[in-house]
Amino acid sequence: MRTILRIWDRLEEMTAVLLFAAMIFFGTCQVLFRFVVNLSLDWTEELTRFAFIFLVYISASLCAAKNRHVRVEIIDLLLPKGVLSWLHRATLLVWAAFAFIIAYSGWENAVNALEIGETSAVLELPMGWILMIIPVGLFLMGARLLVRIAESLCPRTRANGDKEEEPVNG
Instruction: Quote the mean pLDDT of the chain.
Output: 90
Higher pLDDT, 142 or 163: 142
164: in domain = no
Q: How far apart are CA 115 and CA 102, in angstroms?
A: 20
The whole-number average pLDDT for the span 16-23 is 97
Q: What is the DSSP string of 144-159?
A: HHHHHHHHHH-GGG-S
116: in domain = yes
150: in domain = yes
85: in domain = yes
168: in domain = no
Question: Residues of 56-82 as b/e, b for ≥16 C-beta within 10 angstroms?
Answer: ebbbbbbbbbbbeeeeeeeeeeeeeee
Which range marks the domain in which residue 114 is found? 2-157
What are 133-161's pLDDT values in tens digits?
A: 999 999 999 999 999 999 999 876 455 55
Say what the pLDDT of residue 169 is: 38
The whole-number average pLDDT for the span 120-142 is 97
Per-residue confidence band for 34, with pLDDT thresholds at 50, 70 and 90: very high
Judged against a pLDDT cut of 60, whether residue 168 lies above it is answered with no
Closest to 12 (Cα-Cα) out of 146, 169, 141: 141
What are 55-94's pLDDT values in tens digits?
A: 999 999 999 999 998 888 888 889 898 899 999 999 999 9
Specify the number of domains making up the chain.
1
Say what the pLDDT of residue 23 is: 97
87: in domain = yes
